[in-house]
Amino acid sequence: MRIGIVCYPTFGGSGVVATELGKELALEGHQVHFITYDLPVRFDHFISNLHYHEVRVSDYPLFDYQPYELVLASRMVDVVKHENLDLLHVHYAIPHASAAYMAREILRSQGINIPFVTTLHGTDITLVGKDASFEPVITFAINQSDAVTAVSESLKRDTYEHFDVTRNIDVIPNFIDIARYEGCSTEGVMKAFSPNGERILFHASNFRPVKRVEDVVKVFSLVRNEIPSKLLLAGDGPDRPKIEALCRELGTCKDVHFLGKLKHIEEVYSVADAFLLPSETESFGLAALEAMASHVPVISSNTGGIPEINIHGETGFLSNVGDVEDMAQNTLKLLRNDALMESMKKGAFKKAKTFSKENIIPLYEDLYRKVIEESARAIRS
């Protein structure tokens, strides 16, 4: 198949999932064309049938806001026509689904048929989407998509609850390349952060308020009062000043390491004793899956799609959002009991394997074939 992929090319989960999907599809022999404003973070130039088309918005002084969505739609029209695409797959409802709708209708007026699949990742629905200024466009674009997928049952429910969506939503969860997390060298990271064998707690995110990184620091502080430990924080974002201030207030700064936005995060996962994800809401929690693929138990909140991957008592522990005391107790239980740690490491890895790329990518391929066939049939009739 000849597939166009539109996504946010950033470190965010939706961009990572879209890029990893595109790479896998290209390796399967499909022709894959990324249409984005920048090279996706995990793009790989050395896969021969993976292509990149930049969306460049000219800066007209006349406009206070540059019309990115229109430029994106025009670029999609251009790529579909010249690369002879069979299908567009857009990740994130805003503004990608509405731009795809516009591109599809422009092409239809020129006698070209191009169906589009929309994948909902979470924040487009649970946070941004609920904003009244976006809602009508999102509802319309979802309903007009030729197929819609959500990354968890929880996100599917949220979408039906908050939007007047009439079309079927298929759940296709996030996936993981298990091999990427195997056999990482741990020596350097251990030497740098755990010189005296301290236990390592880990968190990775974009430090937005929804991630509740301050809870991570509070949990760590309670754990560190009992067991010598270090906290590693990967990523960066708007809450960083607040997080640093809290570390100062709690006197934990010397044991908290800010690692920034890492390209090879798997080395850090591989040394962690527990991964902390206390999010306010999380449609899936790709970072938790990455931890589990590295045999790391997850201490998380019991919200959104997280309980679909982190199974309480098997792969880690769940607590109510904001219950830092319970999260700390669960972490201590884990760190103090070697047998429990061993069984949870195994449980985490076993569950992660159910989300392997080998299990999930074919679900997208089957959906694409179905959508292409149905759309061709509709045109014929």
Residue 84 C-beta: closest distance to ligand GMT, Å? 29
If the CB atoms of residues 176 and 328 are measured against ligand GMT, the closer one turns out to be: 176
The vertex-100 CA angle with 94 and 103, nearest 5°, equals 140
CB 304 within 8 A of CB 155: yes
If the CB atoms of residues 3 and 93 are measured against ligand GMT, the closer one turns out to be: 93
Residue 287 C-beta: closest distance to ligand GMT, Å? 7
Strand, helix or coil at 279? coil
Torsion of CA 198, 203, 207, 209, to 10 degrees: -110
Q: What single string gives the DSSP state of each residue in 159-214? A: HHHHS---S-EEE----B-GGGGSS---HHHHHHH-TT--EEEEEEE---GGG-HH
Residue 126 C-beta: closest distance to ligand GMT, Å? 6
Nearest by Cα to 303 from 149, 126, 128, 154: 154
If the CB atoms of residues 208 and 350 are measured against ligand GMT, the closer one turns out to be: 208
**Rounded Cα gap, residues 160 and 125, in angstroms:** 10
If the CB atoms of residues 122 and 297 are measured against ligand GMT, the closer one turns out to be: 122
Residue 257 C-beta: closest distance to ligand GMT, Å? 21
- Could you give the C-alpha distances from 191 to 186, 228, 290, in angstroms and in order? 9, 15, 22
If the CB atoms of residues 298 and 372 are measured against ligand GMT, the closer one turns out to be: 298
Residue 286 C-beta: closest distance to ligand GMT, Å? 3
| Residues engaged in binding ligand GMT (CB under 6 A) | 12-15, 17, 121-123, 126, 151, 174, 206, 208, 210, 281-286
